[in-house]
Chains A and B, each alone.
Chain A
Amino acid sequence: MSDNEIAEILMLEDSSLDADLVEEHLRIGRVANRCDRVWTREDFTAALTERHYDLILADYQLPSFDGLSALAIAQDLKPEIPFIFVSATLGEEVAIEAMKKGATDYVVKFRLNRLAGCVERALEEARVRTAQRRAEIEMLESKARLSAALAIAKLGTFQWDVASGRLVLDERSREIFGISADQSPTARDLFERVEPDDRPLLIETMKAARAAKARLEHEFRLTGSTGRTQTVVVICEWMGRGGGDPLRAVGVFGDVTERKAADERQKLLLRELHHRVKNSLATVQSIVNFTLRTSDDMRDFQVGITNRIASLSRSHTLLMKNEWGDVHLRDLILGELEPYEHGRRLTIEGPNVFLPPDLAMTFALAVHELTTNAAKYGSLSVGDGRLAVTWHDRQRECGGRELCIDWVESDGPEVKPPSRRGFGTTLLERLLGHQLGGTVEVAYPPEGAQIRICAELPERSTGTVADHASFSTT
């Protein structure tokens, strides 16, 4: 119905006199309306197509058109609009025929005092029908939304009739509980799949919710037929008052195993992150102390500490890129030597070798120290100086395999052995000697410093990383 309850009426009537009469009766009967009058098939069809009407009043006999054809057109175009015949001549048989074909009612012209009542009733019925249809559509839409929500949330539905024990599970609920489509499970069958440890609390919670008719939301574990333990959440409401309206639980089951596992991973990750940050801070503190001990003045300290922290930072970036997995030796060495890479003075070559995260940081810092020394006193201190870092793995005399890394400087200034062991070689010696069963040989021939680093490699057959504190090859 249109605004303010004014009925929009389409009147099919060739006689102005009759039309006026009809309108007069509607006015007397207080049917608020706005009326359009047509009398040809074309205008009737056009009006129905173009405008909205709440009611059709049609004469049965027209010069160029007839009422039954009009009814057929209306049924075709707008079947929901009530259609009332208003005619001077309408025998009982014709009237019955018209009603059979879908007319709402009929009024003969010499009994027009019936008209207003007929119109009101037809309009009211149409209103109820419209409301019902709207409710049906809303119900369907709501069902579609619910179904989509259940699918996205991967929830299964259930209904449990408490008195009869009847249990209805949808496909997803059956999947969660491992119940095939041809089984008719009872609540007991579900309980039997719940982890024995979780049963008492589940039963207690259910009883309490049932007694209070309160919404139940509870998590419990299932011992699946597959052997893996699932975590399931149940959410349900209580319906029915008993008797003819049996008490039943209506709700959903959700498998939250993956979400639980993700939560656990997240917690673990946070703890791990905390540990790493603390470890990094401890490392920084030690580097500060060490740098302070070996610096001549504050300026020297500032440069030393900044560069060393920058090296740690680069290692962090590399580790991050590798998702905190093993780091390629080449990337690590390149990270430190990058500023000197121009002019083809560097050779960095070797097979694929990987370092685990903790080792990578320390090793990178050692390479940083060697680079700093080379840049201060060695081949990288002059434009023509060259540096080759190469590595290969080889069979050890005493069995097993080892990785040898050669750091060879050349074309630099003439080299004199330093007065004290540098931080870099100390780090390398300690790192390799203690952690990796390796060795470091340092020589200072006049043409440039030469450092050979050897470290034990785990056997190839043991996989990528045999020990979390050793080099590995793949």
Chain B
Amino acid sequence: MPQSRLTGLTVLLAEDNLIVALDLEAALHDSGARVAGPAVRVEEALSLVAEDEPHAAILDFNLLDGAAVPVLEWMVERGLPVVICTGAGLPEDLVARFPDLPVFMKPTMPERLVEVLAERLGR
């Protein structure tokens, strides 16, 4: 993957498993992105999106204080690409609501998530 695929872009990272978050962060840095987060709570992710205005997001679905639905909605409403990386899978109602949402089951190679984001961003 080219080092610079996400250069100049800010990616929101919401992941409550800190070790996984560190790995994803390293992969995002490798691709040239600036990382907002990692956020471990929905509340924290929501204040980050407001502050940092990310161009895309990698979201774990279940965060410490609940499901990341508000964050997902915030991104999708603005037409910003999101990749979900979850251990449990997405509830059916959300799959129906967001049929085009790429959902990856843990564990997935972080580089793969970055790649999908880059494609969605047209890079």
Interface residues in chain A, defined as those with a beta carbon under 8 Å from any beta carbon in chain B: 274-275, 278-279, 281-287, 289-290, 293, 358, 362, 365, 426-427, 430-431, 434-435, 468-469
Contact between B26 and A290, CB atoms less than 8 A apart: yes
Contact between B18 and A431, CB atoms less than 8 A apart: yes
Contact between A427 and B64, CB atoms less than 8 A apart: no
Q: Which residues B80-119 have CB closer than 8 A to chain A? A: 87-88, 105-107, 109-110
Q: What is the count of residue pairs linking A and B with beta-carbon distances less than 8 angstroms?
A: 72
Task: Please tell me the number of chain B residues within 8 Å of chain A, measured between CB atoms.
Answer: 23
Decide: A293 near B18, CB < 8 A? Known: A279-B87, A281-B107, A469-B64.
Answer: no
Contact between A275 and B88, CB atoms less than 8 A apart: yes
Chain B 18-53 interface mask (CB, 8 Å, partner A; 1/0): 111111101100000000001110001000000000
Contact between B87 and A275, CB atoms less than 8 A apart: yes
Decide: A362 near B19, CB < 8 A? Known: A279-B106, A293-B26, A434-B40.
Answer: yes
- Among residues of A, the one whose C-beta sits closest to the C-beta of B62 is A275
Give Cα A468–Cα B65 distance, bound, in whole angstroms.
9
Kindly list the 3 A-B residue pairs having the minimum CB-CB distance in the complex, ordered from nearest: A286-B23, A285-B107, A282-B106
B17 in the interface (beta carbon within 8 A): yes
Chain B 50-73 interface mask (CB, 8 Å, partner A; 1/0): 000000000000001000000000
| Minimum CB–CB distance for B114 against chain A, Å | 12
Residues on A with C-beta less than 8 A from B87 are: 275, 278-279, 282
Contact between B40 and A282, CB atoms less than 8 A apart: no
Contact between B20 and A286, CB atoms less than 8 A apart: yes
Give Cα A281–Cα B109 distance, bound, in whole angstroms.
12
- Among residues of A, the one whose C-beta sits closest to the C-beta of B27 is A289
6 residue pairs bridging A and B, Cβ less than 8 Å apart:
A279-B106, A283-B17, A286-B17, A365-B19, A426-B22, A430-B38
Contact between B22 and A286, CB atoms less than 8 A apart: yes
Contact between B106 and A435, CB atoms less than 8 A apart: no
Decide: A290 near B107, CB < 8 A? Known: A278-B88, A435-B40, A468-B64.
Answer: no
Give Cα A468–Cα B66 distance, bound, in whole angstroms.
12
| Minimum CB–CB distance for B105 against chain A, Å | 8
Contact between A283 and B20, CB atoms less than 8 A apart: yes
Add 10 more A-B contacts to A293-B26, A469-B40 (CB < 8 A).
A275-B87, A278-B107, A281-B106, A283-B17, A284-B107, A285-B107, A286-B107, A431-B18, A434-B38, A468-B64
B19, B109, B110: the one contacting A427 at CB < 8 Å is B19
| Minimum CB–CB distance for B95 against chain A, Å | 18
Interface residues in chain B, defined as those with a beta carbon under 8 Å from any beta carbon in chain A: 16-24, 26-27, 38-40, 44, 64, 87-88, 105-107, 109-110
A275, A430, A468: the one contacting B21 at CB < 8 Å is A430
Residues on B with C-beta less than 8 A from A365 are: 19
Residues on B with C-beta less than 8 A from A275 are: 87-88
Give Cα A435–Cα B39 distance, bound, in whole angstroms.
9
Decide: A279 near B22, CB < 8 A? Known: A285-B107, A435-B40, A435-B64.
Answer: no
Residues on A with C-beta less than 8 A from B64 are: 435, 468-469
B39, B105, B110: the one contacting A289 at CB < 8 Å is B110
Contact between B18 and A289, CB atoms less than 8 A apart: no
Contact between B19 and A287, CB atoms less than 8 A apart: yes
Give Cα A435–Cα B64 distance, bound, in whole angstroms.
9
Residues on A with C-beta less than 8 A from B39 are: 434
Residues on B with C-beta less than 8 A from A469 are: 40, 64
Give Cα A287–Cα B22 distance, bound, in whole angstroms.
9
- Among residues of B, the one whose C-beta sits closest to the C-beta of A283 is B19
| Minimum CB–CB distance for B4 against chain A, Å | 18
Residues on B with C-beta less than 8 A from A285 are: 20, 23, 106-107, 109
Give Cα A435–Cα B40 distance, bound, in whole angstroms.
7
Give Cα A431–Cα B107 distance, bound, in whole angstroms.
21
- Among residues of A, the one whose C-beta sits closest to the C-beta of B105 is A278
Contact between B18 and A362, CB atoms less than 8 A apart: yes
| Minimum CB–CB distance for B8 against chain A, Å | 23
Residues on A with C-beta less than 8 A from B20 are: 282-283, 285-286
